Amino acid sequence: MIDFELSEEQQMIRDSVGAFAREKIRPAARPADESGAIPAALVSEAWQFGFVSGAIPEKFGGGGDTRSAVTGAIVAEELGFGDISIGLHVLAPRLFAFPIVEMGTDDQRAKYLKRFAGADFAAATAAVMEPRFDYDLSAQHVSAKRDGAGYVLNGGKCYVPLAAESDSMLIYATTDASKGYAGVDGFIVPRTTAGVTISEREKNMGLKALATYELTLKDCHVGADARLGGDKGIDFSRLMCESRVAFAAMGVGVMNAAFEYARDYAKERKAFGVPIATKQAIAFILADMAIEIDAARLLVWEAAYELDKGRDALKASYLAKNYVANSALKVTDNGVQVLGGHGYIREHPVEMWLRNARGFSAIEGIATV
């Protein structure tokens, strides 16, 4: 039955994460963008929300919460509203832990999940993207070939968050190129495995506070037990749907940040003796931003809802994410435009949001719900 109301629990989560994003993350966003460093104390404080540990089963010391993609989207939006780079950093361990929770073998769960139930931030990551213009989730060039009892991985990855500080990572690789999404598997690879080279930190246009790395895999041997889900493998398509929903939800948060800032500025800033917001040329831009934010959020929620129902959310999540990629760019660009010359100055955050929003069309697989 159609309903657009958050549950009481979801409202509480939204309010508390939203307050944290507004009061703690936002003030740290600009300094982090300039320096490339996120204060450890802030990451530690965010960890206490249980964004990762909450979904770890109780027997491994976690919260044992049932994951909900809708709730995850709500959280991701609020973090994106605070700052998407910091949000992605804080959620990065999910990239490793959640697929293991959802699709790992009992042994893999027992071996890897405990460390995410502790009181301290535990860095971990996944390698999804590859440095090609027509990079395609369903056609990974990194390959994993059977080699005796195990597998041998070859190829290159990019945009791997926190790779340099993660003990282990999940590397997605093609085991059967004829099968598209179904031919992609995940491999749990310790960072120190022979054949794994981590590059210098990437220098990107936006998301500058998020440490990302290129990864080179050269005849990197792993055991059969490294394959996520064992012989059963994984549902890679579903994992990527979860990823699209999370990243798109963060995009909605970025849009909302730009909207609020531009709206408040337009009500203060005067031209010709009146606030510029009283001019239709500005007011209509703001109205359009507001419509796009609500439209994007509803599309994201719908895709998340499909995931929560256990259905194939490929189309819904793909369309929602592409919608966000377009509308986040447009909305954040309008944020800069409403501020005019001041929008171009790094004293205001709108230029940062525009740079961050540009990433949505280029990047996949660096967040999950």
Partner 1 sequence: MIDFELEPQILSRLQMFHAVSEHMMRPISRDCDEHEHTKPTQFYESMWSASAAADIQVGNDRSKKADGGAAAAPRRANLMTVLSTEELCWGDAGLYLSTPNSGLGGAAVMAAGTPEQKERFLKRFKEGKPKWGAMAITEPSFGSDSSQVTTTATRDGDHWVINGTKIFCTAGEMAAEKSEGFVVVWATVDKSAGRPGIKPFVVEHNTAGMTVARVENKLGIRASDTAALIFDNCRIPLDALLGSAEVRKEGGFKDVMATFDATRPIVAAMAIGVGRAALDFVRDFLEQQDVAVRYGISPRRLTAVERDFMEMEVQLQAARLLTWRAAWMLDTGKRNSLEASMAKAKAGLAVTLITQKAVELLGPLGYSRKILVEKWMRDAKINDIFEGTQQINMIIIARRILNYSSKELN
Catalytic residues: 364
- Residue tagged 């929003």 (tokens): 357
User: 125-127 and 168-174 as β-strands: parallel, antiparallel, unpaired?
Assistant: parallel
Q: 37-76 mask for partner 1 (x: CB under 8 A)?
A: ---------------------------------x------
Q: Quick check: 134 binds partner 1 (CB under 8 A)?
A: yes
By CB under 8 A, tell whether 182 contacts partner 1. Answer: no
178 binds partner 1 (CB under 8 A): no
Is position 179 an interface residue for partner 1 (rule: CB under 8 A)?
Answer: no
CA angle 260, 34, 43 (to 5 degrees): 75
Interacting span for partner 1 (CB under 8 A) from 115-123, 149-157, 218-226, 311-319 = 311-319
Q: Out of 41, 224, 271, 298, which residue is the one contacting partner 1 (CB under 8 A)?
A: 298
Query: Residue 272 interacts with partner 1 (CB under 8 A)?
Result: no
The window from 20-28, 102-110, 297-305, 337-345 that contacts partner 1 (CB under 8 A) reads: 297-305
Is 278 a binding residue for partner 1 by CB under 8 A? The answer is yes
Q: Which of 198, 283 has the CB closer to partner 1?
A: 283
Which long-range contacts does 274-277 make (Cβ < 8 Å, 24+ apart)?
276/338
Options 21, 170, 266, 339; binder of partner 1; rule CB under 8 A: 266
Binding partner 1 by CB under 8 A: which of 133, 203, 231, 310? Answer: 133
Between CA 155 and CA 177 the distance in angstroms is: 14
Angle at 93 between CA 73 and CA 126, to 5 degrees: 95
| Token digits of residue 41 | 């104390």
Shortest Å, Cβ 23 to partner 1: 23
Q: Could you say whether residue 144 binds partner 1 (CB under 8 A)?
A: no
Integer Cα distance of 204 and 59 in angstroms: 40
Q: 355 burial class (0-12, 13-18, 19+ CB within 10 angstroms)?
A: middle
Among 151, 213, 247, 301, the residue binding partner 1 under the rule CB under 8 A is 301
> 173 near 155, Cβ under 8 Å?
yes
Q: Which of 139, 323, 350 is nearest to 236 (CA)?
A: 139
CA distances from 71 to 10, 13, 236, 246, 340 (A): 6, 8, 21, 10, 36
The phi-psi region of residue 180 (left if phi > 0; otherwise alpha if psi is between -120 and 50; otherwise beta) is left
Among 137, 239, 248, 250, binds partner 1 (CB under 8 A): 137
Binding site for partner 1 (CB under 8 A): 1-7, 10, 70, 133-139, 181, 237, 240, 263, 266-267, 277-278, 280, 283-284, 286-288, 290-291, 294-296, 298-299, 301-302, 305-306, 309, 314-315, 318-320, 322-323, 325, 361
